[in-house]
Structure 1
Amino acid sequence: MPHPSRLLVHVLAVALAVSSTAGCGAFGGSDDPPTGLSVMANVTDKSAMDSVVEAFRRHHPDLRVTVSYADTNVLQKQLPDKLRAGEGPDVFTVWPGSGNPASVSALASEDLLEDLSLRRFNLTMPMGVKPVTDVDGSTYAVPVNFSAIGSVYSTEGLEAIGGTVPETWSELLTLCDTARDDGKVLFALGNSTPWVRQLVPYALVATTVYADRPDFDRDMEYGKESFTRSRWRTALHKYLEMEERGCFSADHLNTTYEDTLDQVASGRAVGVIQIASTLSAVRAVDPDLDLRMTALPATDDPDETRMPGAVSAAYGLNPDSLHRRDALAFIDFLGSEEGQNLYNRSGATLPAIPNTSFAVDPAVKEVAERQKAGTTVPFMDQRWPNSAVQQTHFAQIRALVAGTADVDEVLTALDHAYQGRS
């Protein structure tokens, strides 16, 4: 087997390139628009989208499909501008809820999304999904997967240090010590990549805040709660405690998401705190690696543990698409049982529109169990009122772990962003 580092370079080169019948960059590297249907997806969902497109092409052999991939930061910063300029793709990744510039709420408010209320997938879509796909009673995105944020462990890595999956906060800290004593680190952390900075806080806040306050988002909306008054404070202090305890890889502010995959695949890290679709990315580096995803405990009572779990990936349709009929056919396929199963089969996630024929990946068995049991909570940014909160969160978490801001300053900045204050 090739060395993980060399294989990773190849995997990332493929992931960041255009997987299509035309040779253009993420938003079109030439002056000529792509011919046929153009689809743009997040690079973290490449294997999932590749599976869907391959099957869609079999159903529509005469239809030309161009697929491109871009990083989260590129999509959130550039996609809205491209759509406003009339240069956007036909079908594209859109974030559920309202938490960033490429979210359903933000794009729909500017008439940059086609109304999909009459599409067939709406007949079977769970009502619990609609708050993050709908705006003012109309549906603007087809949700494709239910994902989660938690600890992704290499079972070989756990065995190598003689450890087991921790169920309590105390056990988690002890496992950090065990990994360090064995010359490893428990969690690879890539805080050089901005979107990664939200994951550890989200994983902790799911328990510290939502276990006791399941209506926290509504209370925030009504002004009954705030970041500074809530147990977000507890979560951030626990984040710093994990940092001090040596739970994370060294120099993580200069470590990228891609570096963390290599650390897990090479055995230098036992695991990583990530989204569920990262399992497929790690497997791309080492297909033989056995992985397991679990909730990150934040208290010493396992019954209190919650896991961030929600619709993670969704797709919208460009209302100015020159290939509207083909784009609608692709949207319908994404919302079908076949499309949902294909999207999630390779990505270690669950269909956003459940069906009985889907076989759950053993690596995410706990996610499925928690989805059914109701011990998941929404991704925090999906219910934030504006994209500034998430961007502030990225910046403030970096400042917190760099030691240039304390917990009070971080929470105050988040409250200001939530309230629309500079």
Structure 2
Amino acid sequence: MSAVAATALVSVAACSGGGDGGARGSATEGTITWWGWTPDAPVAQSLIEAFNEDYPDIHVNFVSKPISGYDAVLSPAITSSDGPDVFNVAPGSANGGVETFAGGAIDLRDAVTEALGEDWETQLAPPGVDGLVVEDKVVGLSAGSVYSGTLWINQDIFDEHGLTPPVTLEEWRQVCEDLESAGEGCFVQGAGNGAFDMDSFEAIMENIEPGLYADASRGEAPYTSPQFVQGMQIWKSLFDDGIMQAGAVGLQQYPDANNEFMSGNYAMIMMGTWYSQYTVEPIMTSAMEAAGVADPEPFTMVPIDFPDVAGTGNVGSLFGDADYGLAVSGRSDQQAAATTFAVWLATSEAGQQAVANTLNDIPSLTSVQPEWDDIDLVDPEEQTERMQDLTAHAAESTEPRFATVSADLNDVFQEVLIGVARGETSIDDGLAQLQAVVDAE
């Protein structure tokens, strides 16, 4: 990095603002701790290594926290000087909700303005701007966005048994029967994790009527409408008809379902664009080892459209938000170095290229795309074109994932989906509960 660029980031850190009127510490050296539920440790390490090419004297320690318990451990940590210097936040009411943790972060508006200029918002993807600002305070800077609405399949399993990925609900049922007859697991989901249940349900609703899911969360359409009744019926049928594996509600998406898929025990899983990282051979190898596979041999996995479960022909919808924003703790004594890291990863071409090439996120800086020739895919012939198509399609998506869902609605949504799946909540009662939350808001 040039001396001019380094000097600019010193200025950025100095004006980014902590509780004492200026960021504490040096902008070019120090040791900082970064907490997040994502990215996976190997991906985080690759980003840190790229950062250290420009800033060798800032040492970043990434601490991976379980997605299911992230909020619970972060809440007390950011009120302590022993907590993280940098921590992940996310739009809406999912884990790391930006409104929940805004009070513990410094305002990064001056920092991003210094880095990109007064028109910085036009240079970054909208999900990473709109979703991480609270009352004009830039709480976090987005590394990139993720989009859900896809299934991922183990192409090797499908090829071994001469099967074609399902396009309709009936084909999905039949593929599961065929795979199970052959001794293979079909589809796996950690349905005990409400956030991923919401992904599946939104995919169903996008198939029924695109945009209706987000409209209802904003109070612009009723949850009690026939379309949502149909959506809940389809959701429950995934359990009743054996598409969801036995005991799905007793599992979490991470680590349980992820480990089952990475171990080759199931042929399909509901995941979004963040799963693209596992098409990269060394990252998949690490993930398989983490799942307990001895001497792993990476398999070919590819994304497919969520099946046309309602028979409408509305397929291929993706919905997403910023994956995570990097927030700088107001209690950190290394705010300047932490700001340097956040700004570099989220706004610099080098940082965003490093993000793009991991395939974990769609880059926030709109001018950056993955360097496909430099990415070590497991099966380039099978995967390259599909990954390029997915990346391009995601960049065109405008539907939100969690950004329009309030904390109260999020809580009730997760309870209702699990209750309906178990047969403990009727569809009408569940939808009435959702509508009551929106009405109260």
Q: TM > 0.5 between the two?
A: yes
The structure 2 residue matched to 1:260, chosen from 257, 272, 280, is 257
Residue of structure 1 equivalent to 2:335: 324
Q: Any unmatched runs of 5+ in structure 1?
A: 1-34
Q: Tell me how far 1:347 sits from its aligned partner.
A: 4.1
Contact 2:140 2:326 in 1 (8 A): yes
Q: Tell me how far 1:328 sits from its aligned partner.
A: 1.0
C-alpha distance in 2 between matches for 1:158 and 1:49: 31
Residue of structure 1 equivalent to 2:205: 205
Structure-1-length-normalised TM-score: 0.79
C-alpha distance in 1 between matches for 2:186 and 2:424: 25
Q: In the comparison of the two structures, how many residue pairs are matched? A: 377
Verify: 1:415 aligned to 2:435, yes or no. yes
Verify: 1:113 aligned to 2:105, yes or no. yes
Query: What does the per-residue CA deviation read over 1:328-373, in whole Å, with 9 as the maximum and x for residues that have no partner?
Result: 1001111122222323423443212233452357363343232244
C-alpha distance in 2 between matches for 1:349 and 1:128: 12
Residue of structure 2 equivalent to 1:296: 306
Q: Tell me how far 1:287 sits from its aligned partner.
A: 5.6
C-alpha distance in 1 between matches for 2:312 and 2:215: 26
C-alpha distance in 2 between matches for 1:241 and 1:378: 25
For residues 12-411 of structure 1, the aligned pairs below 5 Å read 36-85=31-80, 87-96=82-91, 98-100=92-94, 102-108=96-102, 111-118=103-110, 119=112, 120=115, 122=120, 124-127=123-126, 129-149=128-148, 150-211=150-211, 213=212, 217=214, 220-221=217-218, 223-229=219-225, 231-256=227-252, 257-280=254-277, 283=284, 284-285=287-288, 286=296, 288-297=298-307, 298-335=309-346, 336-359=348-371, 362=384, 364-374=387-397, 377-379=399-401, 381-384=402-405, 386-411=406-431
Q: Tell me how far 1:228 sits from its aligned partner.
A: 2.3
Structure-2-length-normalised TM-score: 0.76
Contact 2:323 2:361 in 1 (8 A): no
Instruction: Work out which of the two has the higher radius of gyration on C-alpha atoms and give 1 or 2.
Output: 2
| SS of residue in 2 equivalent to 1:293 | strand
Amino acid at match of 1:245: D
Residues 396, 313 of structure 1: alpha-carbon distance in 2 compared, 3 angstrom cutoff: same
Q: Any unmatched runs of 5+ in structure 2?
A: 1-29, 289-295, 378-383
| SS of residue in 1 equivalent to 2:269 | strand
- With 331-340 and 344-353 compared, the bigger mean Cα shift is at 344-353
Contact 1:48 1:345 in 2 (8 A): no
C-alpha distance in 2 between matches for 1:409 and 1:156: 42
Moved over 6 A (4+): none
- With 306-315 and 288-297 compared, the bigger mean Cα shift is at 306-315
Residues 400, 86 of structure 1: alpha-carbon distance in 2 compared, 3 angstrom cutoff: farther
| SS of residue in 2 equivalent to 1:294 | strand
C-alpha distance in 2 between matches for 1:388 and 1:368: 32
Contact 2:70 2:95 in 1 (8 A): no
Amino acid at match of 1:171: E
Contact 1:400 1:410 in 2 (8 A): yes
- With 154-163 and 407-416 compared, the bigger mean Cα shift is at 407-416
CA RMSD of aligned residues (A): 2.8
Q: Tell me how far 1:42 sits from its aligned partner.
A: 1.0
Could you tell me the percent identity over the aligned residues? 15
C-alpha distance in 1 between matches for 2:274 and 2:394: 16
Residues 164, 243 of structure 1: alpha-carbon distance in 2 compared, 3 angstrom cutoff: same
